[in-house]
Amino acid sequence: MQIDRMEKFPYTSTISSFMYAMVCTRPYITHVVGVVSKFMNNPDKHWEVVKWILKYLRGTTTHALCFRGSNTYL
């Protein structure tokens, strides 16, 4: 018996984590999180996008916007 791969992938929990990151630290992912959250009832075709978002966030953990006086840098 083959186990459905989506049973192993916590789609709803991952989207919730994206929403937390979106509100607290990453407002620029708002659009893509909104798109993938529309498919929480049937995520079969969209889990690849979710994995791409995870890879993107992992790859940008050392990037930040810093505001100090008149200097703004990335």
Q: Tokens 């791969």 — which residue?
A: 5
Task: Classify each residue of 5-28 as buried b or exposed e, where b means 16 or more C-beta atoms within 10 Å of its C-beta.
Answer: eeeeeebeebbeebeeebeeebee
Q: What is the pLDDT of residue 2?
A: 41
State pTM to two decimals: 0.66
Q: What is the pLDDT of residue 67?
A: 66
Q: What is the pLDDT of residue 55?
A: 92
Q: What is the pLDDT of residue 1?
A: 40
Spans in the chain with pLDDT lower than 70 = 1-9, 65-74
Q: What is the pLDDT of residue 3?
A: 45
